[in-house]
Structure 1
Amino acid sequence: MYKEPFITIITVSYNSESTISDTIESVLNQDYSNYEYIIIDGASTDNTLNIIKNYQIKFENKNIRFRFYSEPDNGIYDAMNKGILQAEGKWIGILNSDDFYIDDKVLSSIAHNIIENPIAKAHYADLVYVKQNDINKITRYWQSGKFNPRRFYYGWVPPHPTLFVDHEIYDSYGLYNEDLDISADYEFMLRIFVKNNVPAAYLPKILIKMRDGGASNISLANRKKGANNIRLAWKINKLTPLPFTFILRLLRKIPQYIWK
């Protein structure tokens, strides 16, 4: 009989009072129990901390370890790194404070995928984008597909919010590069999957509902900065993209708005 893998879920928050309850509820209501939940808050000035505190007893009643920290940070990836350094789970997943799990079977599905694919050191799945003010209205469907690191050269990347990574990978290859700002998750995946050939397994299931309007999408300036940092991600990992890698990365998004 296989032992259920111990999973750490990390949520980074800052002034998230309008969305964080959905995030926390989706973690609390999982039908899987072998996990811990860590929230890293950036010293919110709204009602976020009070909302978080109100959930502490609910996790205790389920015998789920729940911790939260609140202090100023240097951005979302600094906060993610803080959470990873606190994590005790064998597997680590990151759930943003405006995203939430699609149902109560997300962690049990990931655990099953981990057991069924013992060689894989990372697992990922699909996600859907939803409207900020109507979480039942899907605006984009990101279907990942099977893993092949060569696909990065053709503009492919797995959706970071669905990623669950073996703790050893962070220990071996490092945390998020905060200098890459809003593209640090892309650089991390490029570093582990393409540069270091970390094996991964795809779970063909939607795990996450993600609200429109993330940090990398809210302005033309951020889009330009993200594109520049993605080019830099290849450079700092001493990898050479194909001439059309970055064009394909943009073109790959078009079907996601059609097949939803």
Structure 2
Amino acid sequence: MSSSKNTNPAFGNPINRSRFEGGSARRAQTKNDTPLITVVTVAFNCAKSIESTILSITGQSYQNIEYIVIDGGSQDGTLDVIRKYDHLIHRWISEQDNGIYNAMNKGIDLSTGEWIIFMNAGDMFDSNNTIDRISVGLNLKFAVVAGGVRYIYDESNSKVKHMKLKFAGYYMEVPHHQASFINNKLMKLHKYDESFRIRGDLNFMTTLYATGQNFLMVDEVICKVETHGVSAGLSKIHITEEIRAGSPIIKNYQLKCIAYHAMHVIPRLMIRRILPKRLEAKIRSMVKG
């Protein structure tokens, strides 16, 4: 990256040849009984999608928000979009990282809120009053307060799913990080295991469960996400990391996990790949109707 000496915060302050930082938003004056909620966006080469995420967060009716953006040294114009909204972001950093969980941990280190949620580039809150609706139920006796996800397949097809909290049997199910408000003291205590590539969020949730923490699942839809991303789909690393996360708390989880994916997950994915997109969309609309 350029080593420009420009120190205008709107353009980011160069720290070294590969790191820039900025953020000039000021905290809003709010009532003392409203908790500070940190929202973190992790981004890398996503110039086409990050703007909608930024506007979704900064357009929230809830005022007591700390907004942090961690960029992995993008070269596609992402940094230009971040700089455009410097006045709405409290802190942003752009530098090379060692993977998504390394970037997320940087956001955790910078955060000062009582609660933290990750809304990464391309993801959005479901509405502009989502945090307002959820904030009334945030109680620090819970480690996680989580809701549903609206999956966006295309312009006319979407599906809402409320994840269950399941740590037994043949598979695990935990709320997505985009739909989870996490007690930040516990987030800072455990953070994400950076040796995971795509299932670090699952590992974090199993860690909370193993240490006896309480979860609150609510009926509200928290976020909307497109059906692609780092952890979308299925791969060998997806399965091996799920086994690694679940084995400490579920007996014989390796065999159970492999059997579940072989009998349930892989056949569904194969059918989806075979079906023409139009037919798949038509089936979804019929099921939805």
TM-score normalised by structure 2 residue count:
0.74
1:89 paired residue number: 113
Deviation at 1:200, TM superposition (A): 1.2
Partner of 1:233: helix, strand, or coil? helix
Partner of 2:150: helix, strand, or coil? strand
Aligned mate of 1:121, from 130, 137, 143: 143
1:187 paired residue number: 203
Rounded Cα–Cα distance in structure 1 between residues aligned with 2:34 and 2:170? 35
Rounded Cα–Cα distance in structure 1 between residues aligned with 2:265 and 2:288? 12
Does residue 213 of structure 1 match 2:228?
Answer: yes
1:226 paired residue number: 238
Does residue 159 of structure 1 match 2:181?
Answer: no
Q: Give the partner amino acid of 1:25.
A: L
- Deviation track 1:122-143 (CA, whole Å, cap 9, x = no partner) reads 1110002113xx4x43344322
Rounded Cα–Cα distance in structure 1 between residues aligned with 2:78 and 2:179? 24
Q: Give the partner amino acid of 1:166.
A: N
| Gap change, CA 1:241 and 1:123, over 3 Å in 2 | farther
Partner of 2:47: helix, strand, or coil? coil
Higher relative contact order (CA 8 A, sep 6+): 1
Structure 2 gaps of 5+ residues are 1-30, 269-283
Contact 2:59/2:128 (8 A) holds in 1:
yes
TM-score normalised by structure 1 residue count:
0.82
Aligned mate of 2:212, from 168, 192, 197: 197
Contact 1:155/1:252 (8 A) holds in 2:
no
Structure 1 gaps of 5+ residues are 60-64
Contact 1:92/1:164 (8 A) holds in 2:
yes
1:105 paired residue number: 129
Q: Number of paired residues?
A: 239
Deviation at 1:164, TM superposition (A): 1.1
Rounded Cα–Cα distance in structure 2 between residues aligned with 1:163 and 1:176? 14
| Gap change, CA 1:129 and 1:14, over 3 Å in 2 | same
Does residue 144 of structure 1 match 2:155?
Answer: no
- Deviation track 1:165-198 (CA, whole Å, cap 9, x = no partner) reads 11111233x11111111011111111112x1121
Rounded Cα–Cα distance in structure 1 between residues aligned with 2:149 and 2:169? 18
CA RMSD of aligned residues (A): 2.6
| Gap change, CA 1:238 and 1:124, over 3 Å in 2 | closer
Partner of 1:44: helix, strand, or coil? coil
Q: Which of structures 1 and 2 has the bigger CA Rg?
A: 2
Rounded Cα–Cα distance in structure 2 between residues aligned with 1:234 and 1:177? 14
Rounded Cα–Cα distance in structure 2 between residues aligned with 1:199 and 1:239? 18
Deviation at 1:110, TM superposition (A): 2.2
Structure 1 runs of 4+ aligned residues shifted over 6 Å read none
Report percent identity of matched pairs. Answer: 28
Q: Give the partner amino acid of 1:217.
A: A
1:168 paired residue number: 185
2:3 paired residue number: none
Deviation at 1:247, TM superposition (A): 5.0
